[in-house]
Each structure stands twice: as C-alpha cells, then as structure tokens.
Chains A and B, each alone.
Chain A
Amino acid sequence: MPEAPAGTLYRGREGMWSWVAHRVTGFLIFFFLLVHVLDTSLVRVSPEAYNAVIGTYKNPIMGLGEAGLVAAVVFHALNGVRIILVDFWAKGVRYQRVMLWVVVGVFVVLMAGFLPVHLSHVFGGE
C-alpha cells in the first residue's frame, strides 16, 4: 500500500539498532572485499598496474577509510559472536542487552588501542 507522506520510523530498541549496525558494517565489509578482490587480481594483469593502484591508496583519506574498515570488522565480528550466543546459548536471549554493552565496551577498548597507532602512521609520515 502507498507509503507517501512518510510514516514514522519504528522505535525499536537496542536489539533493532544492533541489527541495523550489523547490516551496515556487513555491507561495508562486503563492498571492501569486492574492491579488494578486483585490485588484487590486477597483479595478474600487470604488476606495474597493481603497484600504481596500491600506491594511490597511500593518502590520508584512504587511511581514514582503513580505520573505518577495521572498526566495521571489529564490530561485526564481536556482534556476530553475540548473535551466535543469542541463538544457541540457552541463556543468551536473557542477556542479549548485557552482551551488547559488552560488545560495545570491547569495541571501544580495541579501537582505543588501534586508532592512535594507526592514525599516527597515516598522518605522521612514514
């Protein structure tokens, strides 16, 4: 049925938003892998072309992209474990919200360790 003048957004809670985040990060990772397979396969065409393409990746924008990619992978992996537990651990459903905060906590810790190192590489020269 028609959807014109938009209805409101469904006000889901943590479970729904973690699912949205899981989708978005999953899509980003898929997109990266697609590009990655293409640029890596360039090496079969000509190693020079491959080197040229890889060379263009060495700039701050790509550096930020890498940081985003790592963030996406880390969240997707941790939340993936949470979803497995929700489905296959008898108590998982009851602790789904707690587990989400654990996922967020571990994510923050890991990113806090990774980002300073990575960003200093990206912006601090070689």
Chain B
Amino acid sequence: MTATTTSPAASVGEVPSFDVTLRFRRFDPDAANPEPFWQEFTVTAHGTDRVLDAMHKVKWELDGTLTFRRSCAHGICGSDAMRINGRNRLACKTLLKDLDLSKPIVIEPIKGLPVVKDLVVDMEPFFASYREVMPFLIAQGNTPSKERRQSPEDRARYDDTTKCILCAACTTSCPVFWTDGQYFGPAAIVNAHRFIFDSRDEGAAQRLEVLNDKEGVWRCRTTFNCTDACPRGIEVTKAIAEVKRAMITRAF
C-alpha cells in the first residue's frame, strides 16, 4: 500500500486510485492439513488496472505465496482463467472499474479440474480431451507443391472457432463438465469445429465419430455458460450446435 505514493505514480495524476479488496479461495497442498480456505487482501489500484494488476500487487508486496498462472497479461496465452465474482474470466482482461468494488472481489480457481495450489489447476484432463479431437489438418493424397487454396467464404465458415486460446474458461463453466469430467467439454468441441468445417480438411468423419461418443457433443445441455465465459467472444454454444447438426446431416 505504500508503493502508490512514489513519484511515478503521482505523476500519472489524472488516473484515480482507490482501494480494492480481493478475496481468494486458497489451497496449499503442503500445509499440515490441506484444506481450502478464504483469505482477503486490500491493495491500492488505479482506474485503469485489471484484476491481474491487483493480484500482482498482492503477490509482489503482501504475500509471495499466492499462486496463480499468467504469462502474456494481455489475453493471448490463456493462462489466467479463473472464477471472478462467480464467473469464469481472464484476470488480465477484467478491468477493476467494471466490477462492484464496494464488496470484495471474489476470486476462485476454475471449477471441475483438480486444484494444484491456490488458483492453479491441473489442466491435463482438459488437454487430453483437446488431443482426442485431433486438432490438426488431416489431408490425404500427395504432399501439395503449392498452398491449399481456400475461398474467403469457406474461410469464414469456421472463423469464429479459430480464435480459441485454450484457457479452459468455457469447459470449466459447464455444469455437465463439473459433474462428469469425462465429457469432452466445449473447448475440445470448438477446436473440432475449427477443422470439421474447414474445406481443406478431410478428417471430419473421424472427428464426428469421436464426438458422437456418449461423452461427446450430445452431453451438451445448452446452458450457454460457455458462450458467456469465453474471453474471445466465441459463440461456443452455437459451434457445438453446428457440430450436432453436422452429425445428423452428414450421417444420412
């Protein structure tokens, strides 16, 4: 809290600063009695700050043991998905000024994946589902001697689902995934969609077969939590519905 009064901050001048309280759901696997617990910190932040900036302040100035993932801090790498005030968000894309600061900001790890420590979860089950849909171009025949051409219309067909950054915000917002970790989850389906509707790809039948599994697309109950959670604004539920429809139209 002392750092804000130094001269560089003062010269910023116009940007208002205020106190925010962050309430973390923490978990320390090395504690004598590893149980999750709640802990609050209050830091001074600026009007332009994001939740991640406030968390940095806590980690760097108040409690270095607070554990979370982040890398790019600009919404590209998908490292810092967490549950902020009850909804899955990227800490680096959530502006403090958009939140109700009269109450503590509640920050929890994303739901449905095993918590490793504090806000860090084990992403392996998530990536396992991702690998299963074969997220790469499948094309038969000889290696082409020139690029595979595609019309702008064909490219637009799957444009939305190319934006995924694999942050797991959608998959861990899904009530079906919380109760059934075997479900492929929205992110895997989004990445399958990206290739199923790519005119250059020839693996659609295989992918649809994978997703026709009992833990596949048909487990989607259209709660729209995933669409709301996606930090890239992908219409996740729409993509899933398109895969469902493709499964029926291409089967007959």
A12-B241 contact given A1-B27, A19-B223, A96-B222, CB 8 Å threshold: no
Q: Could you tell me how many residues of chain B have their Cβ less than 8 Å away from some Cβ of chain A?
A: 32
A10-B224 contact given A87-B241, A93-B238, CB 8 Å threshold: no
Contacts of A96 in B (CB 8 A): 222, 224, 237
- Contact of B175 with A by CB under 8 A: yes
- Shortest CB distance A27–B (Å): 14
A93-B228 contact given A2-B36, A5-B38, CB 8 Å threshold: no
- Selected from A4, A8, A86, the residue in CB contact (under 8 A) with B36 is A4
Contacts of B224 in A (CB 8 A): 12-16, 96
Report how far A7 CA is from B35 CA in the complex, Å: 12
- Residues of chain B from 71 to 110 with CB closer than 8 A to chain A in the complex: 83, 85-87, 106, 108
Q: Which residues of A contact B (CB under 8 A)?
A: 1-5, 7-16, 18-19, 83, 86-88, 90, 92-94, 96
- Shortest CB distance A91–B (Å): 10
Asked if B114 and A10 sit within 8 Å, CB to CB, the answer is no
Q: Which residue of B lies closest to A10 (CB)?
A: B86
A-B Cβ contacts below 8 A, count: 84
A12-B37 contact given A1-B115, A93-B238, CB 8 Å threshold: no
Contacts of A3 in B (CB 8 A): 36
A4-B223 contact given A10-B83, A11-B86, CB 8 Å threshold: no
Asked if A15 and B222 sit within 8 Å, CB to CB, the answer is yes
Contacts of B85 in A (CB 8 A): 11
- Selected from B34, B37, B83, B227, the residue in CB contact (under 8 A) with A5 is B37
- Selected from A7, A19, A87, A94, the residue in CB contact (under 8 A) with B108 is A7
- Contact of B25 with A by CB under 8 A: yes
- Contact of B173 with A by CB under 8 A: yes
